[in-house]
């Protein structure tokens, strides 16, 4: 009886160690996976069951680092933005993008074009979207084509709908209504 009890305890300990080792091995293996890659990717962003944006890309690399997870679109990205009625309001295209999840920042670079169905077209080499403040900005040169006018400048800031925008150091032909002079 004593030998049988010792054998049973040893068997339980060996099985326990084997299971623990398998679980530890699986955890270690998951931690070693640092990059997940997807091809022909489509990501839907929604809030309260309403689609806010749809992002498509030929390649997505997801860096799974717990301290700094990020998504990198190395072969270009195209994002479609929608209003509350889920009607497309604008399209953003760039040859490269990176999204830092914890910071809530997305940076789109290289031949960036953002076109609004209502407000016009923005062209630049870099655009930064702060998801927390809903502000889109750049310190790079920009060109805005809007209702028969072309405006160039360095530096730009707007809301997500491209409705209220500010351009730094503007040049070009601009239509101005109701000019008020103040000194």
14-18, 61-65, 69-73, 85-89: which range is least confident on average? 14-18
- Give the pLDDT score at 13: 40
- Give the pLDDT score at 58: 96
| Separation CA 131–CA 144 (nearest Å) | 22
Query: Among the ranges 29-33, 71-75, 131-135, 147-151, which has the highest mean pLDDT value?
Result: 71-75
Phi, psi of 13 (to 5 degrees): -65, -40
| Separation CA 16–CA 10 (nearest Å) | 10
3-class state of residue 65 by DSSP: coil
The larger pLDDT score, comparing residue 164 to residue 114, is at: 114
What is the overall mean pLDDT for the chain? Answer: 79
> Hey, where are the domains in the chain?
34-173
- Give the pLDDT score at 178: 58
Top-tier CATH class for 34-173 = mainly beta
- Give the pLDDT score at 22: 57
């Amino acid at each position: 009886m004593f030998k049988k009890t010792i054998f049973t305890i040893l068997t339980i300990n060996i099985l326990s160690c084997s299971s623990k080792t398998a679980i530890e091995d699986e955890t270690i293996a998951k931690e070693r996976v640092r990059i997940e890659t997807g091809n022909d990717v489509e990501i839907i962003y929604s809030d309260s069951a309403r689609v806010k944006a749809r992002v498509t890309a030929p390649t997505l690399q997801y860096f799974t680092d717990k301290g700094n997870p990020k998504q990198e679109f190395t072969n270009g990205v195209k994002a479609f933005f929608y209003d509350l009625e889920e009607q497309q309001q604008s399209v953003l295209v760039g040859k490269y993008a990176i999204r830092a999840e914890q910071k809530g920042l997305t940076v789109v670079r290289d031949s960036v074009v953002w076109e609004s169905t209502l407000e016009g077209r923005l062209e630049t080499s870099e655009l930064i979207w702060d998801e927390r403040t809903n502000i889109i900005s750049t310190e790079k040169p920009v060109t805005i084509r809007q209702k028969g006018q072309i405006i160039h400048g360095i530096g730009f800031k707007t809301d997500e709908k491209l409705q209220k925008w500010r351009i730094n150091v503007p040049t070009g032909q601009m239509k101005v209504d109701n000019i008020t002079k103040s000194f």
